[in-house]
Amino acid sequence: MSEIKPEDKTATDKNEEEQDWEAAKAFFESLKTKAPRPPKPQNAVTIAVSSRTLFNMVAERKIFVDEGVEKYVAFQVEHESDPLKPGPAFPFVKALMNVNTRLRNLYPDSEELFDIVLMTNNHAQVGVRLINSINHYGLTIERFCMTGGKSPIGYLKAYMTNLYLSKSADKVTEAIEEGIAAATMFMSRQESDLSDTQLRVAFDGDAVLFSDESEIIVKKHGLDTFFEHEKKFENKPLAQGPLKCFLEALGKLQRKFYAKNERLNCPIRTFLVTARSAASSGARVLKTLRSWGLEIDEALFLAGAPKGPLLQKIRPHIFFDDQMFHIEGANELGTISAHVPYGIGQKYNKGKLIEEPKKEE
Amino acid sequence: MVSTVTNTDVKQKDVDQAVVVAVTFAAVFEPETEDGSSIYRLGVALPLVQVLQRVNERLLEKNPAEHQLFDVILITTESWQQQQNSSIINSTRHHGLEVGRFCFSTEEDYIESLMQNNVQLFLTTDGNEALQATQQGVPSALLDTNWVSCPSEQLRVLFCEKAIFQLNMGSTEASKKSAQNFLAHLGQMKQKFGVFDSPLCFTLVTSHGGKDNCCCALKSLRSLGVSVDEAYCLGGAPRGPILSLLRPHFLLSDGFSLLEG
């Protein structure tokens, strides 16, 4: 399901892989708890979450920053049996698990499911507390990588990751540069009442689902030029953005529900929340989605109005946007948001060009 | 007939406290000598020998009176190699390798030689040799030619459920004990360094079981004094891509099946 193609394998590699796979299958089938077996990475929609997005580790992070890595690891080991509190990606993960349950009911033998992987920079000793916490909440996360400080990018590719969520902007930027959909998560400031029967995902349009080509025009030439341009090129599809493939993966799973007559009761719902206006620049967006063969359940054109209040009504488990200005607005009104550090929007803050500090020679 | 020769170029390690690691001739050297001379070319295990040396250097930096160091011995496992003893000694000295002694044995008696020299870890590129040594109670690991030759400042040891070679044998009590002993030494060496910038890196990879399985393995190792740095729970996902990123110097498993829950 991922855009990342696995490297060419030899016959021995494939043989070994099959053996590993059969052994894992046997293991899970023998478990008394009947925990569901994780799917093969190439069949699943793999979502990698970092430890700080899955759990609230603000206090622990402070120890790391103020007192250093040794004290931090020691603290975590000491508190190994104390479960951590939920973090920003927690509701999203629970919603994914719910979709999996529904999918397993309808397609008991299919591996087209969500596979949640814990991808953390943490030291393996800290991992024990993480695993204990995962067990405490009954989360179905069977795969993890604790890289002990090394970059997770190689491992993201090895797992054919479809989406990577982290609190570290650097890692997320690196992932996007490598072609992996990724976003930096932010905790919302208020508690919000989220659905526990339906996964709701909201996307911004430009520089998230689509490339930033149009946004460049707005920033450099202003809105009027932008409207003219969009009308003129209405029938030319926009180029794809970093999260297009993730929307595509969601669409594939949605169609599995439609095939079983579950359209009205589908546990996945997608939203487009864009500052574009329907009349002047909306058509191009809808036509682009159509040309890609993608559906989006609800398209909301705000014509520049703030996104916060609308998102508050939608109550998505996650909202992706490329501009911090919108992320902050959403956060303030209780929406869990994720920043996609892509495109020209990164050089601007609230419409003004951020002055780059002069680089030293 | 086994003969053991000391390498006088290298300071000898403490007999009681050193951790003896034996590496085969075929791993350290290529089978052919350099043109026109009797010096053997260096083989795949050179970076491994160098990194063992590096760990020793770092240990001595921390404590100049340190005795718990790696004592590397070179062992021949075939008759033709045994006959090349002088060339082997010369080649080792020529390349300045920190090899403490040489054991010149054949396919018949190399295991006896390993035991006589109190070898705690036997490293070879030959699957059969590793298998036989393990069966006789000497913890062994097969060096994978893909990764062993990556130069590194850090000795990377990987713990996993199954090694590269397909083994279907139970471990004996003796080999379990020796394995535990070796692990304890490794753990003690590592403890002398902090979490950051250590010359020893321990990684755990579980291929088949779930997260609780992996967690148990982490704790078992911890109870033996081994603090693992990185852990990967694959749950059936292919190992190849992960291993090619990890690039371990060697994998420890079958003699170490005490990890299985």
In which element (H, E) is residue A94 found?
helix A90-106
Inter-chain touch B213–A28, beta carbons under 8 Å: no
Q: Are residues A296 and A328 in the same domain?
A: yes
A125 touches chain B (CB under 8 A): yes
A135 touches chain B (CB under 8 A): yes
Q: pTM above 0.90?
A: no
Q: Please state, rounded to an integer, the average pLDDT across all residues of chain B.
A: 85
Domain locations in chain B as residue ranges: 3-142, 155-252
In this structure, is residue A137 part of a structural domain? yes
Nearest to B215 among A35, A131, A145 (CB): A131
pLDDT at A361: 41
In this structure, is residue A58 part of a structural domain? yes
In this structure, is residue A335 part of a structural domain? yes
Q: Which residues contact B18 (CB under 8 A, 6 or more apart)?
A: B67, B68, B69, B70, B71
**B259: pLDDT strictly greater than 80:** no
Nearest to B230 among A38, A70, A124 (CB): A124
Give dist(CA B115, CA B59) in Å, integer: 26
All residues of chain A having their beta carbon less than 8 Å from the beta carbon of residue B214 are 131, 144
In this structure, is residue A136 part of a structural domain? yes
Q: Are residues A319 and A219 in the same domain?
A: yes
Q: B76: which strand partners? A: B104
Pairing of strands A318-321, A199-203: parallel
Percentage of the residues of chain B whose pLDDT score is greater than 90: 39
**B203: pLDDT strictly greater than 90:** yes
The catalytic residues of A are 204
**B163: pLDDT strictly greater than 50:** no
Q: Are residues A165 and A214 in the same domain?
A: no
Nearest to B229 among A6, A28, A124 (CB): A124
Inter-chain touch A148–B201, beta carbons under 8 Å: yes
Q: Are residues A294 and A341 in the same domain?
A: yes
pLDDT at A10: 67
A152 touches chain B (CB under 8 A): no
Q: Are residues A285 and A161 in the same domain?
A: no
Amino acid residing at B24: T
Q: Are residues A207 and A159 in the same domain?
A: no
Average pLDDT of each block of 10 consecutive residues along chain A (361 residues)? 55 74 77 73 92 95 93 94 95 95 93 95 94 95 92 91 95 94 88 88 94 88 88 91 95 94 93 89 90 93 92 95 93 93 81 59 41
Q: B73: which strand partners? A: B22, B101
List helix spans (H) across chain B: 25-28, 46-62, 79-83, 85-94, 110-116, 127-135, 173-191, 211-223, 240-246
Inter-chain touch A146–B210, beta carbons under 8 Å: no
What's the distance, Cα to Cα, between the start and end of chain B in Å? 42
pLDDT at B261: 31
A158 touches chain B (CB under 8 A): yes
Nearest to B236 among A25, A148, A157 (CB): A25
Nearest to A148 among B229, B234, B235 (CB): B229
In this structure, is residue A251 part of a structural domain? yes
Interface test with B, best of A2, A14, A27 (most B CBs within 10 A): A27
pLDDT at A223: 86
- A158 three-state secondary structure: helix
pLDDT at A3: 52
A63 touches chain B (CB under 8 A): no
Min Cα distance B16 → chain A (Å) is 31
Min Cα distance A114 → chain B (Å) is 14
Q: Give the domain CATH number at A68.
A: 3.40.50.1000
Min Cα distance A316 → chain B (Å) is 29
Give dist(CA A322, CA A106) in Å, integer: 36
Q: Are residues A259 and A167 in the same domain?
A: no
pLDDT at B114: 93
Inter-chain touch A155–B242, beta carbons under 8 Å: yes
pLDDT per position as a tens digit, B109-130 = 999 999 999 999 999 988 889 8
Pairing of strands B101-104, B70-76: parallel
Domain tally, chain A: 2
Q: Are residues A208 and A102 in the same domain?
A: no
A88 touches chain B (CB under 8 A): no
In this structure, is residue A34 part of a structural domain? no
pLDDT category of residue B230 using cuts at 50, 70 and 90: very high
Q: Are residues A280 and A172 in the same domain?
A: no
pLDDT category of residue B148 using cuts at 50, 70 and 90: low
Tokens linked to A59: 């206090």
Question: Phi/psi of residue A96, each to 5°?
Answer: -60, -40
pLDDT at B101: 92
Q: Are residues A90 and A153 in the same domain?
A: yes
The complex scores an ipTM of 0.86
Give dist(CA A321, CA A337) in Å, integer: 8
Domain termination residue (choose one: A154, A184, A214) = A184
**B260: pLDDT strictly greater than 70:** no
Nearest CA in chain B to A26: B208
Percentage of the residues of chain B whose pLDDT score is greater than 70: 91
Domain residues for the domain of A267 are 197-351
A74 touches chain B (CB under 8 A): no
Tokens linked to B200: 């020893």
Min Cα distance B260 → chain A (Å) is 12
Domain termination residue (choose one: A152, A184, A216) = A184
Q: Domain B3-142 - what CATH class?
A: alpha beta
Q: Are residues A174 and A235 in the same domain?
A: no
Min Cα distance B170 → chain A (Å) is 18
In this structure, is residue A6 part of a structural domain? no
All residues of chain B having their beta carbon less than 8 Å from the beta carbon of residue A35 are 210
Min Cα distance A119 → chain B (Å) is 9
Nearest to A142 among B210, B218, B230 (CB): B210
pLDDT at B147: 66
Domain termination residue (choose one: A157, A184, A211) = A184
Tokens linked to B2: 């086994």
* Segment 231-260 of chain B within 8 Å of chain A by CB: 231-242, 245
A24 touches chain B (CB under 8 A): yes
Q: B172-187 burial, b if ≥16 CB within 10 A, otherwise e?
A: eeebbebbbebbebbb
8 Å CB contact between A94 and A110: no
All residues of chain B having their beta carbon less than 8 Å from the beta carbon of residue A128 are 215, 218-219
Q: Which residues contact B258 (CB under 8 A, 6 or more apart)?
A: B176, B179, B180, B220
All residues of chain A having their beta carbon less than 8 Å from the beta carbon of residue B227 are 125
Q: Are residues A227 and A143 in the same domain?
A: no
